[in-house]
Structure 1
Amino acid sequence: MTSYVALIRGIGPGDPRKSNESLRGVLEGLGLDRVRSVLASGNVVFESGSRSPAKLADRIEAAWPEELGFSALTVVRSRAQIAALLDAEPFGDAAHGKASYQLVTFFRTALRSAPTPPEGLAGVEVVGIVDGALCTIHDTTLTGGPEVMKWIDQTYEKQTTSRTPLTLRKILAKMDA
């Protein structure tokens, strides 16, 4: 069995259809094993005998409207992929904070080339791409977080979901528990 995480876009507390319990119920209904939530923001870890994260993402994403009545982009990554991304240390020794807010943006299809932030979006640095995920760091005291997310959403037509390295470490810890 391989340990995976489903990274689900647009999940937050407040909508009972998108509660951790509801999300876990859908994955359990699909026959996935050891289903567990991480935080209340669309991170569900599980195990499967499947070797294809893309096929798992297709199955899970198709289940949201059928089971819970909403659509949500879903990206699936293996434990090995999350560990390798964190081990690559794309942000170097920069501390995560307001002046150096680190963000990893995931895509269903691996990103091949890094975008250039638009002029006028100060304090944003594209660090690079690790395993198809876009790594950015920005100074929220100059840009605010929403401006960076708006740029990413507009550039990729909301076909992304983002997490901080801090959240990815929590996901990895849950996978190892």
Structure 2
Amino acid sequence: MHSFFLVEGSHTSGSVKTEYAGVHRGVAAAESAIRDYVSEGGFELTPSSGQELSLRVYQQGKPAAKHDLIPLLRLQIPGFAEMGFDDDYDHVGGEPEPDSDADGVDDPELLADMRAEALLEHHGEVGVTVEWHRVLLPALREPLLPEGQSVTVAGRALKFGANWFQD
């Protein structure tokens, strides 16, 4: 049995549920997967109770830890100050930068829409980081999952790397 990290993300938009599962061997690869998930539209800037973004640690094929990543997530969206989320998933920060299109806008709903639009419009420029120092993340024990090998988690076959699902 192999050790690996599993990045899981999901959200529902209307009647469509989008799920992401990324199987990786290192923190850098997991963070890259999180960046791709967020910047490719898999993450809602106003996280609902139904949205998930987590990291599971599997040691030698067995679940060893699960970490909620939403409160650890930091986003740098062009035109806005860095933003994150508190433990209730309410956003913190993200004020308009001076001389940006959103500068001077006071309506919270309009600002939320402008942030979401900027996230999609500038997806390749969005900075996404995780405050890993706030997580007790164990080193993976040998043997690590080989690249190209699939694993089955909760009855679902997942290939090494990115896996996207829509219902």
Asked if these proteins are the same fold (TM beyond 0.5), I'd say no
Higher helix share: 1
Q: How high is the TM-score relative to the length of structure 1?
A: 0.28
Decide which structure has greater strand share: 2
The structure with the larger Rg is: 2
